[in-house]
Structure 1
Amino acid sequence: MKAGQHELDLIIFDCDGVLVDSEVLSCGCLSEALATCGIELKLADALELFLGRSMAAVLQHYGAQGRMLPDYFLPDLKARVRQAFQASLQPIPGVGSLLSGLRTPHCVASSSDLDRVSLSLALTGLAPHFDGRLYTSQMVERGKPAPDLFLYAAAKMQAEPHKTLVIEDSVSGVAAARAAGMKVWGFVGGSHYESRDGRAILYNAGANRVFDRMADFWTEGQRV
């Protein structure tokens, strides 16, 4: 067992941008789906506004502006995401090897819905590493940045929050982990951070550590 693993009850992985390189694909689909509703949202703005957030947060954002999205919006978006993922979704480099060697209990806690998380893990071959230990914002009252989802996952996994490590790529996810009383490492190896200073963004959000390669997950001397 790598140094540091014995100090943990649980490692919680976000899915999008941490296990699978999906954020640019999904935010691009969101921009396209909103365009059919007469709403312009550039990809960079989609990443800024909704990275790590649930679909409920999208609906609330536009609802607060008095812009109620039509009934066809969600089915259209879901179809676009499924098509894009089936065509182009890739796992984050090195994450399969990391998970294969992981001896600490681990699970997924994602703002995406369960169908999308399951699809993402199946398409990228990562599903066997989690054996159904998937928790999503659909299962709790409040999504990230509230701590509800991470606390729910820890309870289901019978883990103490202060002995839980969260791996996140978004400000809302880092904030949720901190609010849950958990350690959190920021991951900036996804393609959505190629033109943004992800390290500064996630450190400023409160991440205990930020890294950009899954091969460096357990660096020599790294303490949890």
Structure 2
Amino acid sequence: MIIFDCNGVLVDSERIATAVASEELMQAGFGLTPEVIAHYFTGRRPTDMYQAIEQAAGRNLPADFIGRVTAATLRRFRQELRATSHVATALSWLRGPKCVASSSPIDRIRTSLDTTDLLRFFDPYLFSASDVRNGKPAPDLFIYVAQKMSVEPRDCIVVEDSPVGVAAANAAGMTVVGFAGGSHAQGKLAGQLTSAGARTVIADMRLLKGTISALRGW
């Protein structure tokens, strides 16, 4: 079983998502730049991010804030979102079961994959951290996916682009391939993914099939 994160792995979404979140936070009186959001919250559930921001600021976000961010993000995704370079080819090459496990809500996952014509590779096997108690870096989502897909964690390979995602998959007992090829990736990301527990790191989806074959010992 190959489990893919969505944002920053299948779709090049991180710059759009952090820009939207920053704009809405600024309008609500919370001065967080896209860079700050990316640094502290990449790979985490939006609800966990909002809770952390409220705790740090000592005040609540507006009651309609989550709805506004969700609507603005989906609108921008439909207009601007692109698949990660070469990912459709990589998915076509990979044989066997595949699924998506993301910190995003399920509507954002589905919109992201539908907009970029990647939904056909995974539907209906889409899983959101909204369905588990603890988000990444806790292993809850990946353990949940293994149970739902009737596979052992040790038989799963996860493709992740964030240190918290790598840590979550590693804690679940899965093998992790780090991906550092998104437009948001910084020079230090590969090292951060390795430090978090990635077995290997790639920056080009054309290397994915060979990497997975090597990990499986084929």
TM range (shorter): over 0.9
Aligned to 1:77: 69
- Distance (Å, rounded) in 2 between the aligned partners of 1:223 and 1:11: 12
Q: TM-score, normalised by structure 1?
A: 0.92
CA shift, 1:102, in A, is: 1.7
1:23 equivalenced with 2:23 (yes/no) = no
State how far apart, in whole Å, the 2-side matches of 1:100 and 1:182 are. Answer: 23
The residue that corresponds to 1:130 in the other structure is 122
Write out per-residue CA displacement over residues 116-144 of structure 1, whole angstroms, 9 at most, x where no aligned residue: 00000000000010121000011111111
Helix, strand or coil for the counterpart of 1:64?
helix
How far is 1:43 from its partner?
1.4
Aligned-partner residue type, residue 37 of structure 1: A
Could you tell me which residue of structure 2 aligns to residue 158 of structure 1? 150
Q: Is structure 2 residue 40 aligned with structure 1 residue 40?
A: no
Native 8 Å contact 2:142 2:172 kept in 1? yes
Correspondence 1:103 to 2:95: yes
The match for 1:139 among 110, 114, 131 is: 131
Deviation readout 1:66-110 (Å, 9 max, x if unpaired) = 221111211111121112111110000111111122212110000
* Structure 1 unpaired stretches of 5+: 1-9
Higher relative contact order (CA 8 A, sep 6+): 1
Matched residue type, 1:19: L
Does the 8 Å contact 2:90/2:209 carry over to 1? no
Question: Which amino acid letter does the alignment assign opposite residue 175 of structure 2?
Answer: K
Out of 168, 172, 177, the position equivalent to 1:185 is 177
- Paired-residue identity, %: 43
Q: 2:159 aligns with which of 164, 167, 182?
A: 167
TM-score of the superposition, structure 2-length normalised? 0.94
Query: What secondary structure sits across from 2:192 in the alignment?
Result: helix
> Displacement, 1:196?
3.5
Q: Does 1:213 align with 2:213?
A: no
SS at match of 1:190: coil
CA RMSD of aligned residues (A): 1.2
- Amino acid in the other structure paired with 1:216: L
Is 136-145 or 196-205 further displaced after alignment? 196-205
What residue is the counterpart of 1:6 in the other structure?
Answer: none
Query: Which residue identity is paired with 2:136?
Result: K
